[in-house]
Amino acid sequence: MFAGIWLPWAAAVAETGRPLPRFASLRAGEVNVRTGPGIRYPVDWVFLRRGMPVEITAEFDTWRKIRDWQGKGGWVHKSMLSGRRTFVVTGGVQDLRQKNSEAAPLAARIEEAVVGRILDCREEWCRVEVSGLRGWLKRTLFWGVYPGEKFR
């Protein structure tokens, strides 16, 4: 339960009252990923892509354990994360449609690893924006939203 709503993908609720796991995005263009939750832990590697979606899998005080679409993860300070919902294209080049239908005209073709913003998610389609271009993608063609998750 989260604010009186059952979230089928949420396995737990964190101390903050937010569901775990949940998606967020990187707030900065350079984010240090540490081996543990605190500045005393060494920086393991650095994210260099603002807006990249990440999945928060754990919380400790002001630190969030995250992972990216390729499974790489670690700990980041919560100030480096945003609630803005973004996605990353997976599985090769994907078709962005003008409407939420396989039969809809093509709006663009989007290459794997391209990051965009999620505007709206319904049944099996999500309305997205990539570099100012809006259209619809099937949720199975990208990473950044849970099966059955709906939002506007």
Beta bridge partners of 137: 126
Percent of the chain with pLDDT over 90: 84
Amino acid at 77: H
Q: Which of 8-12, 126-130, 135-139 is predicted with the least confidence, judged by mean pLDDT? A: 8-12
Q: Which two tokens stand for residue 13?
A: 């609720």
pLDDT given at position 6:
45
Sign (positive/negative) of CA torsion 112, 115, 117, 122?
positive
Domain 87-143 - what CATH class? mainly beta
pLDDT given at position 8:
53
pLDDT band at 5 (very low <50, low <70, confident <90, very high): very low
Q: Evaluate whether 12-84 and 87-143 have a shared fold.
A: yes
Q: How is domain 12-84 classified at the CATH fold level?
A: SH3 type barrels. (2.30.30)
Which residue ranges make up each domain of the chain?
A: 12-84, 87-143
Q: How far apart are CA 150 and CA 141, in angstroms?
A: 16
pLDDT digits (tens, 9 = 90+) for 43-91: 999 999 999 999 999 999 999 999 999 999 999 999 999 999 999 999 9
pLDDT at 19 over 70: yes
16: nearest Cα among 71, 81, 68, 69: 81
pLDDT given at position 152:
85
